[in-house]
Structure 1
Amino acid sequence: MKVSLVVGILVLGAAVIDTLVGSLSLRRRPAAGATALAVLAFCTGLWVVGYGLELGAAGVAAKVFWARVQWVGVMGAMVAWLAFGLAYAGFDQYTRPRYLALIAALPVLTVALTWLNPGGVMMQDATLRAVGDLTVLVQDRGPWFLVALAYGYAAAASGMALVAYAVVASAGVYRIQALALAGALAVPTVANVAYVLGGTQTIDATPFTFTVSNALALAAIRRFDLLDARPVSRRLARDSIVEHIDDGVLVVDALNRIVDANGGAKRVLGGDDPTGDAVDTVIPDWPEIVEEGRGDVVFGTTHGGRTYDVSVGSVTDDHDRLVGRIVVFRDVTERRLQLQRLDVLNRVLRHNVRTEMNLTYGYADLIRERTTDSELADYAERIEDHALELVNVADGAQAVDRALDETRLGEVVPVHESVANAVARVRSRYPRATIRVHSVPRDVDAGAVLESIVHALVENAAEHTDAEDPIVDVEAWADDDTVTVRVLDTGPGIPEEEREVLERGRETPLEHGSGLGLWLVSWATQTLDGSVEITENDPRGTIVTVTVPRAPPEPSGPDGNAQNA
């Protein structure tokens, strides 16, 4: 078979596949990398067609002309490949015209030098050499050829490094795409290295290998969604999250200079960009906040001062050396105002209402004892009942406040003590109730707030019952990670509407619980990262099961006894 026929078939095949890849890529616009891949395909197509025309041309001048045409495709392909790598890896900002102009500066200069070739800077001494039934153009390389060659290999390696980075940064989800692209790059690169090292005395196989390269690219587009889904790098995702969250975020270096700020931080600071400023000129009490790890700061805005919870986290390198800090601003103005309102309402409920209801109860009791009017005595007794009910509500609010006191939330006590104390308190208030305690584990610790949970459940069972002598059972057990307490009663059960309200975690004016006991159980359990389950007892009553994390044992000293903190 004639060499010219083989070359013709290879040129035609490569040109067809190049055209398919370029057309498919153009249809995917404006997908990231689509335009770059289309330009890459058309440039390699120009390269292979130009080389085919060079081999078929007669005479040195014609062959030199088509050799120069190829250089447009060669250098254009390098720029397009690098631009595709940047887009594929998520560095789209570097594919803007001003950056592409910088990337293309040396290739444009190379093309110009190829056509002008002053002083033989690119090629010298063009001659012909027969290869089969074809003649091959042989030229000595000028000094700029080596510069262009180095740029081409550097661009190829950089583009592949960007593809590899994108795959690694996206946890390897796009490995098949990366393998296809690696193969598409490796085949012509190996062929070109072999041709360059061989001295350019024979036919250059590089353009024909684009048949394989573009076939792989075509498969990546059609089968592996190359242009439809690109890797979402963790860097790109994190940058997007940080920029779009409502919270303000500052990045501070080891010298306490602000090196970056997201849009939220700029809004908090009045719209100015604080980059380059010393952080202590922006955030009041900066040393104290760094030491504590967080603190409240009031920033003035056009709408008045607002309160922000400022938290500080350290950024360290692989050797745990401090390289900077991340500062996050969270607007807690409404939360702080709500807490203030709740504190005031809680104080009024616990103190003022309780005091007034005690007085109301006392006066009603005097009226009932001193009046001879039986109807008036009945009214006085009803007033007493309602006043006592409100006093109980105030006591319940006080119990909730005491149970959820932040100073107690970190305490750890033995489970058997929590259960025993809770049961003893209920027995003293409801002496007619029979409270049976079963199988409570010893030498097992949990949060101190567990006592309030057990007390609320047992008291609820003893109080809300239709039996003259109610019976309540309490049992507990533990495994390696959790402690479970179960309270069983034989009363009328918890109304369904109260269960639903409790499970939704809110009340409405038309649908609400009758007291605070179950709310205390729910809130206190949440503070311990536990769970509550309410089921029906058989044949009658309620079973409430509370599961909370088991506290780790205290460290032992040299004598084997627990060390006191």
Structure 2
Amino acid sequence: MRKRGGRKSASPRFCLRTTFFPRAPPLEFKFSLLSGINLLTAIFMVVLGMVAWRLSRGRGLALWMFAMGEWSLLECFQLGAVGIPAKVFWSVIEYLGTLYGAVFYLLFALEFTGLERFVTRRNILLLCIVPTLTLLLAATNHWHHLIWADFTAIDNNRIIYHRGIAWVLGVLSYTYLLIGIATAFLGWSIFRYPMEYKMQSILLIIGVLCPWSANFLYLTNLSPLPGWDATPVAFSVTGALFFYNLFKYQFYDIRPVARDMLVEKMPSGILVLDSQNRIVDYNSAALCFNSIAGENCLGNTIDTFFPNWDNMLQGNAASDNRLEITQNQHHLELNISALHDPNGHLVGRLLIIRDITERKQIELERERLLTELQQAQTEVQTLCGLLPICSHCKKIRDDSGEWTRMEAYIQSRSDAVFTHTFCPECLEKHYPGFAPKMPQNPPQQ
């Protein structure tokens, strides 16, 4: 280590004791305005974390706030500590909040955007591998100087850290990667959620950009106060915006609960498509209709999983409709609702899918029973019953008591078709002059 002005750096033996903490360096503290600002920020972030822990169902936000509070508090100690060894001592502990805070921020973004299924113990452990290794490297920096290559003391009890390759990979690259991914998820929610949730997401992104902009100025030595990392203090802006969201919109508590209760628990499948018929949201029931893998669903067109649906939707582009289709031997009822922006432009579609296979089977069974019943009634009327016939005119009395000609009665109860002619005896008896001219066997009809 070196100080400006040619002073010798501290001995490696002193750094070893500082790193593993068998005996902490002298805790001489020089309070300053910057230390006070960081202390107030730490208190504010811890209070916000406690409120978030109590009000929100997920824990990502609360853990993130606690990590930022730890970062601010240890930055307060680092600023007030006198001497490079003491400052390095507090910087190592400060890395707990710095490194794991990015992980907690990503967990919060996943929970807020409805991707809680990715917040698993396995994924959390994987995300913590790099921060843990980086923290160990910081604690043993005196052996390899991979995190901090050197330190330079400047005025007003501040130092400049000369960082090594492990810091670039483990701190700068990894934490900014997680922050970028999490911010992208929040940005995605701006286009995914209704207007009230869009405002929440915009405020969240503004709150996140403030501290990381301050951190960028610190890392590039563009800060007006060299050696002072204003990132924790900038989190006070983040905290204020988050408090506003918590009490104005009650965000992060209502959204996941409402989605689980109203969408995930619905027996009907729900698919939300954009204007290009790409899947942008779905519930668990929708995955059952065609064995869709959820992780491969988002971003793909509807035709990927439901062939010919794209053409069907194009034919019902801008209107609401109700269709019945057959998919994999299942009868489905498809309700299509067009989604429009405030200007009336089509931005997507909402598809509600219901499996009506059982209802269709019941309808087919009912039609079959009705057909059999009608056939049975016809057979009963045709084959059974005593027929009162007039001995003189040969009319038949029907069920209502009316006397009907025999031909009409039989024809109404069968498929028989009648023709009229003369038998040979009647022809000879009544029309003797025509007997040779009339055919004896008229053509069948």
TM-score bracket, normalised by the shorter chain, equals 0.5 to 0.7
Aligned partner (choices 220, 231, 251) of residue 226 of structure 1? 251
Does the Cα contact within 8 Å between 2:49 and 2:63 map onto a contact in 1? Answer: yes
Matches of 2:36 and 2:404 in 1, distance apart?
102
Does the Cα contact within 8 Å between 2:190 and 2:202 map onto a contact in 1? Answer: no
Structure 1 position 260, deviation (Å): 4.7
Matches of 2:71 and 2:208 in 1, distance apart?
15
In the alignment, which residue of structure 1 is the partner of 2:318?
none
Structure 1 position 52, deviation (Å): 0.8
The residue type equivalent to 2:390 in the other structure is L
The residue type equivalent to 2:62 in the other structure is A
Identify unmatched segments of 5+ residues in structure 2: 1-29, 264-271, 273-278, 295-324, 335-352, 413-445
The residue type equivalent to 1:109 in the other structure is L
Structure 1 position 150, deviation (Å): 1.3
Aligned partner (choices 151, 155, 164) of residue 126 of structure 1? 151
Residues 1:89 and 2:106 aligned together: no
Aligned partner (choices 178, 200, 207) of residue 177 of structure 1? 200
In the alignment, which residue of structure 1 is the partner of 2:8?
none
Aligned partner (choices 66, 69, 76) of residue 45 of structure 1? 69
Does the Cα contact within 8 Å between 2:398 and 2:404 map onto a contact in 1? Answer: no
Aligned partner (choices 238, 247, 250) of residue 290 of structure 2? 250
3-state secondary structure, aligned to 1:68: helix
In the alignment, which residue of structure 2 is the partner of 1:532?
none
Does the Cα contact within 8 Å between 1:60 and 1:128 map onto a contact in 2? Answer: yes
Matches of 1:18 and 1:106 in 2, distance apart?
25
Matches of 2:328 and 2:101 in 1, distance apart?
56
Structure 1 position 386, deviation (Å): 11
Cα separation, partners in 2 of 1:70 and 1:199, compared to 1, 3 Å? farther
Matches of 1:336 and 1:367 in 2, distance apart?
48
Cα separation, partners in 2 of 1:383 and 1:156, compared to 1, 3 Å? same
Matches of 1:93 and 1:384 in 2, distance apart?
76
Structure 1 position 346, deviation (Å): 2.9
Q: Using the aligned pairs only, state the percent identity.
A: 21
Structure 1 position 381, deviation (Å): 7.5
Matches of 1:94 and 1:68 in 2, distance apart?
30
Give deviations 1:166-198, integer Å, cap 9, x for gaps: 332234440121022111101001111111111
In the alignment, which residue of structure 1 is the partner of 2:181?
158
Deviates more, 1:226-235 or 1:113-122: 226-235
3-state secondary structure, aligned to 1:216: helix
Residues 1:348 and 2:376 aligned together: yes
Matches of 1:82 and 1:369 in 2, distance apart?
99
Does the Cα contact within 8 Å between 1:71 and 1:111 map onto a contact in 2? Answer: yes
Aligned partner (choices 214, 234, 239) of residue 283 of structure 2? 239
Give deviations 1:399-440, integer Å, cap 9, x for gaps: xxxxxxxxxxxxxxxxxxxxxxxxxxxxxxxxxxxxxxxxxx
3-state secondary structure, aligned to 2:151: strand
**Runs of 4+ off more than 4 Å:** 231-237, 293-297, 308-312, 367-371, 385-388
Residues 1:189 and 2:212 aligned together: yes
Cα separation, partners in 2 of 1:346 and 1:296, compared to 1, 3 Å? farther
The residue type equivalent to 1:142 in the other structure is G
Residues 1:107 and 2:124 aligned together: no
Residues 1:149 and 2:172 aligned together: yes
Aligned partner (choices 233, 239, 249) of residue 214 of structure 1? 239
Aligned partner (choices 23, 27, 30) of residue 54 of structure 2? 27
Does the Cα contact within 8 Å between 1:83 and 1:95 map onto a contact in 2? Answer: yes
Matches of 2:332 and 2:232 in 1, distance apart?
60
Alignment of 1:393-412 (within 5 A): none
Does the Cα contact within 8 Å between 2:35 and 2:77 map onto a contact in 1? Answer: no
Matches of 1:386 and 1:43 in 2, distance apart?
100
Structure 1 position 16, deviation (Å): 2.4
Give deviations 1:83-122, integer Å, cap 9, x for gaps: 1111112221221110111111111111111111241100
Structure 1 position 344, deviation (Å): 1.1
Matches of 1:14 and 1:387 in 2, distance apart?
104
Give deviations 1:366-409, integer Å, cap 9, x for gaps: 389789xxxxx9xx677435999xx99xx9xxxxxxxxxxxxxx
In the alignment, which residue of structure 1 is the partner of 2:365?
337
Matches of 1:119 and 1:19 in 2, distance apart?
35
Matches of 1:144 and 1:81 in 2, distance apart?
22
Structure 1 position 364, deviation (Å): 3.9
Higher RCO (C-alpha 8 Å, min separation 6): 2
Identify unmatched segments of 5+ residues in structure 1: 252-258, 262-292, 298-307, 313-325, 372-376, 396-565
Aligned partner (choices 204, 211, 228) of residue 229 of structure 2? 204
Cα separation, partners in 2 of 1:9 and 1:295, compared to 1, 3 Å? closer
What is the count of residue pairs matched by the alignment? 308
Does the Cα contact within 8 Å between 1:187 and 1:212 map onto a contact in 2? Answer: yes
In the alignment, which residue of structure 2 is the partner of 1:98?
122
- Scaled by the length of structure 2, the TM-score of the pair is 0.60
- Scaled by the length of structure 1, the TM-score of the pair is 0.48
3-state secondary structure, aligned to 1:366: coil
In the alignment, which residue of structure 1 is the partner of 2:159?
137
In the alignment, which residue of structure 2 is the partner of 1:13?
40
The residue type equivalent to 2:124 in the other structure is L
Cα separation, partners in 2 of 1:84 and 1:310, compared to 1, 3 Å? closer
In the alignment, which residue of structure 2 is the partner of 1:75?
99
